[in-house]
Structure 1
Amino acid sequence: MDWTKSDTFDQQMLRCVNQPKTLDLPSWRSPEGSCGLWSMSESGVGHIDSRIFMSPQGEPLMIVGTNGIANCVHQFVVDLRTIIPDLESKLEVENVPIRFANLTALPRESPLAEIEKNYQLLFDEKDDIFVHHEIGDRSFTAMSDVGMRNLGVYAPTPECILSLRKTFAHPDSQKMTIHQATNSLRVTLCEYPCEPSLDNTVLISIMHVKYERFLDVYYRRYLVVMNATAPFHILARSSNLIYAGTDEQQMVYSVAMEWDHSHYRRRRESRDNPRNAVEKREERTAAKLTPDTNKLVNDYYHGWLDDTLLISLGLNDKESAFIHVNAGQLLDCLELCPK
């Protein structure tokens, strides 16, 4: 990546320097008659609204929408190592097992909507997978190597989320919806190298409030804070996030977020103590801050308040960009969500 000037905003933003490549993904038709309002999609909607993220084990996963097996459009997950040659060697995850070698339909209890969108995966303290279907009417399905089960939801959507909804006098021409945007991450609410526990560690993700008026679309973005254990009670949310001074009238949507550990931890340690910061860190933390001794810790899904996040953005359905954000800044000013 490198800094380049955005065509949408008059400022520098991080972008990929390589040209995008088309992924070779399988396709099929939706069941006949399943695409009532989207009848033209029945023969092939393509692959839409992809989200790429890392699991706690180091799997490079992608959730993507395409023609459903039991409905018109559904959500699927796949391990990108089966699609992109040499990806596992570049990420140094050759020894991580592949669980999703093919496009795998993410489970949800019937009846399914005609269009299922915006699923996310939540990983609990044991790194078990839960499919979180939507933020406005919460439901979960637990996934495991031996099958799946529906998880009874004891954490309905709190008022701090529902209050963001608004109705309009003319819903045919103007409406708004709330939905999930990014993947989830685990964060410990203190600075590295404090000891993570279930008392000081939460899950975070970004949700959208989507406004539509005729052909105009724009988003507001909110950080959501959840318990790190199922059923992932929503604890708090942020105020509207504005990225890098972007124009709120432009269509700027959050796509995914990842920890940028390797670059920023080295840089911070070198800045604080150029001679021996790394050695001191290794000496004082090697015994306790590893996945072998603390199951909440890993190099992919977990971070601390003083770690840095890389958030990918979509701009007007024409451009993509990235921004670096300190985790503590995202969690700096929150509205608590009473149970």
Structure 2
Amino acid sequence: MLIQPKKGVLPAIGGVIVLIFLFALFSGGDYVSKPTASVREWANGRLESWSGHAEDQEIYTAPKEPTIASDSDESPSEPEPEPTTEFDSLPKPKTEPKPPTDFDSPQKPKTEPKPPIDFDSPPKPKTEPKPAPEPVSKPKSKPKPSTSKTTGVAGTHNEISSSITEDGSYFPITFRDYPAMNPNIIPHPTLNDTWFIVAQRYKEGPENPTWFTELVCEAAFKDGRLECIASPLILPIPATFSTKCEGDISHFNFNVGPHDARVFYGPDVPYILYGSQSAFNCFGQWMTDFRSLVDWYYARRQTDPFGIPTDLQRPEPYGPIEKNYFPFWDHEGVVHMHYDISPRRVFGKIGFDGTVGEDLAPLAASKDKSCLAKYMAPPEAAQFESIHQSTNSLSVTMCNRNDTTCKQTTSNTYIFTIVQRKSYYNFHSVYEPYVVVFNQGAPFELYGISSKPFWIKGRKEDRHSSEDKRDLKRDSEMLYVTSVNWKDRGLKYHGFLDDDLLVGFGIEDKDTGGIDVPAADLLRDLGLCSDT
């Protein structure tokens, strides 16, 4: 059956709904409307004043947007602007508090506007720049390359320049806290842009005058100079003794240690040659494998040539003091020793035990004599002059490595070394270096000699800086060339004309210097013996 609703329920529910509607309609309420265009324009104008302000200017915040009255009977509320914010109220870094800003004082003009300030985060404290680190060490002395132009030598010398220094002058070589002289430079076997440098320690003052050492270190270029990466060490070369130092040269008995070392590459390994007391004369020449004296990784064998210090012999007669030998290797890799260049050449095949065969120079003497007379005339006895061997030897192929048609052959590859003409006037020595080139095959006759000596850029024309007319033979700076080796790692005894060399030299018997030069520049102006 149908269920009938109770009477009076529906009218009651309807009445409640009507009352709720009327209450909501007449109670009213505030609502926030969007700001008008004029309000937005005013606020934006105030905000634009923030951009580009200096720290001593007043910063404003935009006033709160006014509300629009509702339909209720309540009167609209008046907008109340927020107080302005000064820089003094901003958080300051604790480490560097700033003094309060005086807004009454006149503002200083600013040359450059500052960027907008981020008020959401406190300003960062200023950091002081860190001072530059001090150099590890400073050498006590080093030569200063000359910046003067060597105009006085243009017609008399072949000037060579460096590509390492800004003005092309030679670079100093420094052994940190130890002054040195007569340097040698060879490329490191495993490290790029690194070289072994060796030089005689220079001593002065009250130091022991009879104790001699050769300094050694790994070196690199820094600020225009070649310097030891770490403090140098002493080459462990044993002292020797001789029974032949008698009479006027008996003082050589007091000598302890090596003199005037030469470090160089052979076709395969590096060697060192130095002076010390000898069993065959008072003071002779010794040679040994350089690798055994330094931190050089290699498999040492009993059969290594010159594996121990070897007392070198020469064709007789001996002088009481022998100096400046240099070895050379022929096309077959056989080692010979060159003893003299003047008044005549002396050289011969040498054994690994130091023994020597006959003098081979007479086989080439007829051609050598005319070549030496033209390009390096023997000095007259009345003059205070002489000619000396000075460096090791290298072999060079007379074409460029970068030329694809250039091939090393026995007909285009020669041996070269540097010799020097010495003059001694006014108690001062001056050395003029010449390049001497000879054949790499028997009888090893001369091929050419520099038609004029080479001039190392940076060498002083007048060591006294006098305004008087200069005499290069007597007054120029003494540079004594001691070493010539290929610059690049991997090059040993042989190279090409476009390969770079490193030439080392002593300066006034108390400093060291060097210069890089392409082989072609060093061999420039070569006078050929075939023209004599």
TM-score in terms of structure 1 length = 0.78
Report the more deviating stretch, 298-307 or 160-169. 160-169
Mapped to 2, the partners of 1:250 and 1:183 lie a distance apart of 23
Partner of 1:67: 277
1:310 to 499, 502, 527: 502
Alignment of 1:129-140 (within 5 A): 129-136=335-342, 137-140=344-347
Partner of 1:295: none
Question: Partner of 2:455: helix, strand, or coil?
Answer: coil
Report the more deviating stretch, 326-335 or 153-162. 153-162
- Give the superposition deviation at 1:197: 0.6
Give the ranges of 4+ consecutive aligned residues of structure 1 lying more than 6 Å apart after TM superposition: none
1:260 to 479, 487, 490: 487
Question: Partner of 1:179: helix, strand, or coil?
Answer: strand
Mapped to 2, the partners of 1:308 and 1:138 lie a distance apart of 28
Q: Is the 8 A contact 1:131 1:143 kept in 2?
A: yes
Partner of 1:270: none
1:81 to 291, 307, 318: 291
Q: What amino acid is the match of 1:50?
A: A
- Give the superposition deviation at 1:144: 3.7
- Give the superposition deviation at 1:44: 2.3
1:3-51 superposed Cα distances (whole Å, 9 cap, x missing partner): x99535435515242243222211122114x344322112325311111
Q: What amino acid is the match of 1:117?
A: K
Alignment of 1:231-250 (within 5 A): 231-238=443-450, 239-248=452-461, 249-250=476-477
Partner of 2:255: 44
Partner of 1:161: 372
Mapped to 2, the partners of 1:299 and 1:7 lie a distance apart of 28
Change (3 A) 1:35 1:177: farther
Report the more deviating stretch, 322-331 or 153-162. 153-162
Which runs of 5 or more residues in structure 1 are unaligned? 263-297
Q: Does 1:118 align with 2:118?
A: no
Mapped to 1, the partners of 2:246 and 2:486 lie a distance apart of 38
Mapped to 2, the partners of 1:42 and 1:82 lie a distance apart of 27
Mapped to 1, the partners of 2:352 and 2:507 lie a distance apart of 37
Mapped to 1, the partners of 2:330 and 2:261 lie a distance apart of 23
Change (3 A) 1:217 1:45: farther
Partner of 1:55: 266
1:263-288 superposed Cα distances (whole Å, 9 cap, x missing partner): xxxxxxxxxxxxxxxxxxxxxxxxxx
- Give the superposition deviation at 1:326: 0.6
1:231-264 superposed Cα distances (whole Å, 9 cap, x missing partner): 32111111111012412511101111111234xx
Change (3 A) 1:319 1:20: farther
Q: Is the 8 A contact 1:218 1:252 kept in 2?
A: yes
- Give the superposition deviation at 1:181: 0.9
Alignment of 1:114-263 (within 5 A): 114-136=320-342, 137-144=344-351, 148-153=356-361, 154-156=363-365, 157-162=368-373, 163-167=376-380, 169=382, 175-192=384-401, 193=404, 194-213=406-425, 215-238=427-450, 239-248=452-461, 249-262=476-489
Larger strand fraction of residues: 1
TM-score in terms of structure 2 length = 0.51
Mapped to 2, the partners of 1:161 and 1:48 lie a distance apart of 29
Change (3 A) 1:260 1:95: farther
Q: Is the 8 A contact 2:417 2:437 kept in 1?
A: yes
Question: Partner of 2:227: helix, strand, or coil?
Answer: coil
Q: How many residues align?
A: 290
1:28 to 240, 263, 271: 240
Mapped to 1, the partners of 2:345 and 2:290 lie a distance apart of 28
Q: Is the 8 A contact 2:143 2:512 kept in 1?
A: no
Q: Is the 8 A contact 2:144 2:172 kept in 1?
A: no
Q: What amino acid is the match of 1:20?
A: P
Mapped to 2, the partners of 1:53 and 1:204 lie a distance apart of 13
Tell which structure's C-alpha radius of gyration is larger: 2
Mapped to 2, the partners of 1:260 and 1:314 lie a distance apart of 18
Mapped to 1, the partners of 2:437 and 2:398 lie a distance apart of 11
Q: Is the 8 A contact 2:142 2:512 kept in 1?
A: no
Q: Is the 8 A contact 1:186 1:204 kept in 2?
A: yes
Change (3 A) 1:78 1:234: same
Q: What amino acid is the match of 1:164?
A: A
Q: Is the 8 A contact 2:430 2:477 kept in 1?
A: yes
